[in-house]
Structure 1
Amino acid sequence: MNRWRGFLFILLAAFFLSACATGNEEEQETGNQDQTATESESGDEEAHEANDTSEEEVLVSLVNSEGEMVATATLTEGEAGVDIRLEGENLPSGTKGFHIHEEGKCETPDFESAGGHYNPTNAEHGFEHPDGPHAGDLSNIEVAEDGTVEEEVTAEMITLEKNGENTVYTDEGTALVIHSEEDDYNSQPSGDAGDRIACGVIGE
């Protein structure tokens, strides 16, 4: 009798251990599936966000009235707006107006195809105007006596996010323009900055 009781006890113990192991495997498999699903959903969200967010770095080539490349601009999304690093040569020396224009067209020789300043908020021109500035108004740049320029400015009112407010990626496109004279930050409609001497389409 004791032998049968012992044998029965062993069978019950084996069955109990087998059931526990199966349960643990099922829980582990369910956990792995949940984790995989979560990671997949997270990846999909990140991919979707990446499609809607800004370009990490946008390069713009600016040409003069003869179609010769005279400068390059690197645009990146910064904490205070879009940071623009401009490097160029063979430009007339002095203080020059520098703006983002409302049309992504740079037709030589006068670049009038670029339209006016980018102004989605319908503001007045100029940092010193009480109803300004345009979103496309930028700080003046300084071209050295040897015709070179190396400047960094920030466009605080625009974004590189394609679906963002005041994005540079409009249906018409946008362009960077260097002017022949200094922007006085007040005169309408473009700060009395003179002719357009260089132009480059953003995102082209």
Structure 2
Amino acid sequence: MKIPIVILVSLITMYVNVSSKTEPVKKEPVEKAVCVLLSPFNSVNGLITFEKLVKGIQVTGKISGLDTGPHALHIHEKGDIRDPKCLTVGGHFNPLHKQHGALEDKVRHMGDLGNINADEQGIAVFSFVDKQLLLEGPNSIIGRSLVVHSKIDDLGRGNTLESKTTGASGERIACGVIGYA
């Protein structure tokens, strides 16, 4: 029995389409993210984790190689860290277009994480809960960068334009991409 070529091609196509269907991939909720900070031009390095809790995101980290004292910590828009001075990471992550502020302020950039404090050995150990950060959805911090700055963040309380946009926090001294843990 000869089967016309059109019917044969149709049967093969139906078989391939039916047999290649797979179950939709179930997306697991993101519970944890991590960022490794490295700087090619100084000795700053660290490890920061972001863990989902009922009350927000627990941010825990240890950064070494810092000058003694406070340093601003921000999440920036892009995860493009190919520039050694972290100049390709964009501005502060601010999807809701708010003014710069402190971690506990309701009006602040989503990426404003305040200050960390380095001890006499240049080590900053910190842990806090942030109620605005997200690990999922269009405003997720996954794929964005975490940046440590050279100066204290004035939390938008200064009388300059720089204070209202960046907290007058100085140069970017280390950065890393936030990824799935």
Verify same fold: TM over 0.5.
Answer: yes
**Aligned counterpart in structure 2 of residue 160 of structure 1, from 131, 135, 157:** 135
Q: Does 1:177 align with 2:147?
A: yes
Task: State the partner residue of 1:85.
Answer: 60
Query: Radius of gyration: which is bigger?
Result: 1
**Aligned counterpart in structure 2 of residue 201 of structure 1, from 174, 177, 180:** 177
Is residue 61–residue 69 contact of structure 1 (8 Å, CA) maintained in 2?
A: no
How many residues matched?
151
> What RMSD over aligned residues (CA atoms) do the two structures have, in Å?
2.5
Compared CA separation, residues 145 and 67, structure 1 to 2 (3 A): closer
Q: Distance in 2 between matches of 1:66 and 1:99?
A: 19
Query: Structure 1, unaligned stretches of length 5 or more?
Result: 1-43
Note the C-alpha offset of 1:118: 0.4
Is residue 78–residue 145 contact of structure 2 (8 Å, CA) maintained in 1?
A: yes
**Aligned counterpart in structure 2 of residue 97 of structure 1, from 46, 68, 72:** 72
Q: TM-score, normalised by structure 1?
A: 0.66
Compared CA separation, residues 126 and 65, structure 1 to 2 (3 A): farther
Q: Which amino acid aligns with 2:71?
A: K
**Structure richer in helix, relative to its length:** 1
**Aligned counterpart in structure 2 of residue 53 of structure 1, from 7, 29, 36:** 29
**Structure richer in strand, relative to its length:** 2
Note the C-alpha offset of 1:65: 4.3
Note the C-alpha offset of 1:126: 1.0
Identity of aligned residues (%): 32
Task: State the partner residue of 1:41.
Answer: none
Q: Distance in 1 between matches of 2:80 and 2:129?
A: 22
